Amino acid sequence: MTSHDAFAERDLLAAPVVGRASWLVPARIDTPELLDLGHGTPQDVRANLDEMWRINRYLGGFRALTAHLYPRLGTMPDPASVLDLGTGAGEAARAIARWGRRHDHPVRVVAVDWAARHLDVARHTLAQTPDVTLLRADAARLPLAAESVDYVISTLFLHHFAPEAVIHLLRSAFVTARRGMIMSDLVRGWLPWAAFRLAAPVFARHYLTRHDGLLSVRRAYTPDELRELAEAAGLRGARVHTHWPWRMTLVVDR
């Protein structure tokens, strides 16, 4: 075990816990991740975001989003607009824009992140993708008009917020959506936590990915909890779909 991994174990043990627990589901940890706290050099940030995209792409997270997003975009007669919250390296935004070009359904994506160093990585990622615009903004206080985009999306984003903040974010983000909101995330549980530890030597070689990946699983919500948060935000007709392995997607159509 490296010194970084030992720090991660101590961090998990010391973190405050909230929410419901059962023999398969631990109580939710509510403590910031290292990347959110500003740890790491620009090279560390790029390596971490690259690994998180590979995890999201190959282990079902991005598919849990697009399974609901692409069929909706495919039925739209006009060019669609998508707002990607917490875009990170911008890989999801680029993939969605490329899908639109391949399927003759043009998609304009506004990729939002609050962290300037994430957007530095995204600028490199999106250098050849003119249909994606970067925007530095607080996802809970978007500088956009009501119903100014067709769909608001996110991946691996909601678990970064405490319950009250999730309610506020969902409520305010949905105001900007003309057609709906689609957000995928991890499902909290001991099994996905153990699976991440087993997969770490392949997918999480960087210390930031190992630390924040384990913490993300413990910070995540369950499908029932996410459904309750959406109801508390006043999102009528909100549905939470589960996807293998240990992913879930909140879908709200207007």
Question: Please, which pLDDT band fits residue 5 given cuts at 50, 70 and 90?
Answer: low
Q: What are phi and psi of 94, to 5 degrees?
A: -65, -45
Burial 167-190 (b: 16+ CB within 10 A, else e): bebbeebbebbebbbbbbbbbbbe
The per-residue pLDDT for 16 is 52
Topology at the third CATH level for domain 3-253: Rossmann fold (3.40.50)
Q: What is the pLDDT of residues 31-67, one digit of tens each?
A: 899 999 999 999 999 999 999 999 999 999 999 999 9
HSE on the CB side for 163, CA within 13 Å? Answer: 16
- For the chain, the structural domain boundaries read 3-253
Burial 114-130 (b: 16+ CB within 10 A, else e): bbebbbebbeebbeebe
Q: What is the pLDDT of residues 102-157, one digit of tens each?
A: 999 999 999 999 999 999 999 999 999 999 999 999 999 999 999 999 999 999 99
Q: Where are the alpha helices (DSSP H) in 163-249?
A: 163-175, 190-203, 207-219, 223-232
